[in-house]
Amino acid sequence: MTRYISYCRHCVMPETKPDIFIDAGGVCNACRSFMGRKEVDWNTRRGELLNILERYRSKNSGNYDCVVPVS
């Protein structure tokens, strides 16, 4: 039995890439996420980030603060 690899209809990413899932419409989760960016309230998200940073900011000005982004 031959099995064919599915590809995203938008970006042509193969389903064999780790963490990529192609829905019934033939579009991958990365493209769906990208399409949803217009619905994000970026000002609210910025405020949330600033709150998180403030919570972990050093109370002692002699130390360095560092943010390490991880995906």
Domain count, the chain: 1
pLDDT band at 67, cuts 50/70/90? confident
Residue 25 maps to a domain: yes
- How far, in Å, are 17, 36, 37, 63 from residue 13 at the CA level? 7, 18, 19, 44
Identify the domain containing residue 11 by its residue range.
1-56
- From CA 48, how far away is CA 16, in angstroms rounded? 35
pTM, to two decimals: 0.57
Structure confidence at residue 3 as a pLDDT band (50, 70, 90): confident
DSSP secondary structure letter of residue 2: -
**What is the tens place of the pLDDT at every residue in 35-60?**
988 888 999 999 999 998 888 877 77
Any domain includes 64: no
